[in-house]
Amino acid sequence: MTVRRLLAGEQNLHVEAVGTGTQDLSQIANSLQECGLDIVRSEVLEETVRQPFNHFGQKFATGN
């Protein structure tokens, strides 16, 4: 679980949680609501791709 708190605004708490199915996500949402949080928006992410820096644009990163 990842929690980010922004400085201001009504929607200033972002929670990222991981589950194996919709039942897990429902349980997580219920737990957050029991803690007094209002869930304004939720999104389901299917896939994340990361790629390490491979020197693409190196001249911009180093100034060379």
Domain membership flag for residue 55: no
Q: Which of 12, 14, 15 is nearest to 28 (CA)?
A: 15
Number of domains within the chain: 1
Strands (E), the chain: 2-5, 13-16
Rounded Cα–Cα distance for residues 13 and 25 (Å)? 17
Tens digit of pLDDT for each residue in 18-64? Answer: 999 889 999 999 999 999 999 999 888 888 888 777 666 666 666 65
Domain coverage including residue 10: 2-48
Q: Is the pLDDT of residue 12 over 70?
A: yes
Q: Give the per-residue pLDDT at 2.
A: 93
Q: Give the per-residue pLDDT at 30.
A: 96
Domain membership flag for residue 57: no
Q: Give the per-residue pLDDT at 45.
A: 86
